[in-house]
């Protein structure tokens, strides 16, 4: 069947964990945008949701760091963080190991992806699911791109990975939704937490909306570090979604820098229909 839905969203832990500290209009407008994304996702009646995330040393560490990993578990637990700290109750999330296996096998034709039957979701997945599948009744296939512990995979490989995911979805009979989650510019969990480079974000989002491959792959890590902070490395997740929906434009439904959430809060949906 292939893709029935594709989009991107932010996942910063402050979105839920520091909601009480946010300006009410910032919080409500962003939460509303997440609600609208959920509604758009639900009408496509997906059988499974692939979440391309950038986890933060919850499962993967510098002792054995995969550039790419896809989950193949029956179920997943999350969040791994203190539920009170994150503002999200710990729960089990259903997986779909059989579909995972088919996707992994197909992706391996193009990209040497790792797989894992064990995976604890951190805020990178738990925050989006809190809004998008709040009943935890949709099969989730977690995907990770290492955006935290350099050396990092080059952007053109993130593109190739997104394309490989798309080919795998095209061959599956299921109705599959896919989202990428990450920050654009941000300096999370550092003394600069709350700094956001809005101009850089808006430029990136224009290019992301246009699915401008050349522009998207033109970001060097040095430039990203300087202008977008270490959190900017997570653009890999957005780029993978562009690659998975190559040739389609997308709409940014919400963008607002919200410093207490430590990120330019973003919701974007790819226009998959002609």
Q: Which 8-state DSSP code applies to residue 232?
A: G
Strands 48-53 and 176-181: parallel
User: Does residue 138 contact residue 49 with C-beta atoms inside 8 Å?
Assistant: yes
In the complex with another protein, the residue whose CB is nearer, 195 or 203, is: 195
Q: Which of 45, 92, 101, 150 binds another protein (CB under 8 A)?
A: 150
User: What are residue 180's phi and psi, to 5 degrees?
Assistant: -105, 140
In the complex with another protein, the residue whose CB is nearer, 122 or 139, is: 122
Q: Which of 40, 110, 192, 212 binds another protein (CB under 8 A)?
A: 192
Residue 220 makes contact with another protein by CB under 8 A: no
In the complex with another protein, the residue whose CB is nearer, 90 or 175, is: 90
Residue 225 makes contact with another protein by CB under 8 A: yes
Cα–Cα distance, 139 to 97 (Å, whole number): 9
User: What are residue 117's phi and psi, to 5 degrees?
Assistant: -90, 0
Please, what is the minimum distance in Å from the beta carbon of residue 191 to another protein? 4
Q: Which of 23, 85, 92, 134 binds another protein (CB under 8 A)?
A: 85
Q: Judging by beta carbons within 10 Å of its beta carbon (0-12, 13-18, 19+), is residue 21 exposed, middle or buried? A: exposed
Residue indicated by tokens 């992301």: 208
Residue 89 makes contact with another protein by CB under 8 A: no
Please, what is the minimum distance in Å from the beta carbon of residue 20 to another protein? 11
CA 8, 11, 12, 14 dihedral sign is positive
Strands, E, within the chain: which ranges?
A: 3-9, 48-53, 68-71, 75-78, 91-94, 114-116, 139-145, 176-181, 250-258, 263-270
User: Does residue 14 contact residue 189 with C-beta atoms inside 8 Å?
Assistant: no
In the complex with another protein, the residue whose CB is nearer, 19 or 175, is: 19
- Which residues make Cβ contacts (< 8 Å) with residue 163, sequence separation at least 6? 110, 243, 244, 246
Q: Going residue by residue from 233 to 272, which x/- string records binding to another protein, judged by CB under 8 A?
A: ----------------------------------------
In the complex with another protein, the residue whose CB is nearer, 57 or 206, is: 57
- Of the candidate spans 34-42, 91-99, 143-151, 249-257, the one that interacts with another protein by CB under 8 A turns out to be 143-151
- Of the candidate spans 30-38, 71-79, 162-170, 187-195, the one that interacts with another protein by CB under 8 A turns out to be 187-195
Please, what is the minimum distance in Å from the beta carbon of residue 247 to another protein? 34
Q: Where along the sequence are the contacts to another protein (CB under 8 A)?
A: 14, 17-18, 21, 56-58, 61-63, 80-82, 85, 120, 148-150, 187-193, 195, 225-226, 229-230
């Amino acid at each position: 069947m292939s893709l029935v839905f594709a989009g991107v969203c932010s996942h910063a832990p402050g979105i839920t964990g520091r909601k009480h500290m946010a300006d009410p209009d910032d919080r409500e407008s962003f939460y509303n945008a997440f609600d609208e994304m959920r509604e758009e996702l639900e009408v496509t009646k997906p059988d499974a949701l692939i979440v391309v995330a950038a986890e933060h040393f919850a499962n993967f560490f510098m002792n054995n760091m995969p550039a790419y990993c896809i989950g193949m578990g029956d179920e997943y637990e999350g969040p791994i963080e203190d539920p009170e700290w994150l503002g999200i109750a710990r729960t089990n999330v259903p997986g779909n190991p059989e579909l995972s296996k088919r996707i992994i096998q197909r992706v391996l034709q193009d990209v040497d992806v790792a797989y894992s039957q064990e995976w604890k979701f951190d805020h990178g997945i738990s925050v989006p699911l809190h809004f998008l599948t709040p009943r935890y009744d949709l099969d989730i296939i977690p995907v990770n791109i290492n955006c935290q512990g350099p050396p990092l995979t080059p952007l053109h490989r993130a593109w190739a990975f997104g394309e490989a995911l798309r080919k795998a979805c095209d061959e599956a009979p299921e109705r599959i939704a896919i989202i990428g989650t990450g920050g654009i510019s941000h300096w999370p969990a550092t003394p600069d937490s709350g700094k956001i480079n809005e101009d850089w974000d808006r430029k990136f989002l224009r290019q992301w909306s246009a699915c401008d491959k050349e522009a998207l792959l033109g970001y060097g890590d040095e430039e990203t570090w300087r202008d977008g902070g270490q959190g900017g490395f997570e653009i890999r997740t957005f780029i993978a979604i562009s690659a998975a929906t190559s040739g389609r434009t997308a709409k940014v439904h919400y963008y607002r820098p919200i410093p207490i959430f430590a990120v330019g809060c973003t919701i974007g949906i790819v226009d998959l229909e002609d």
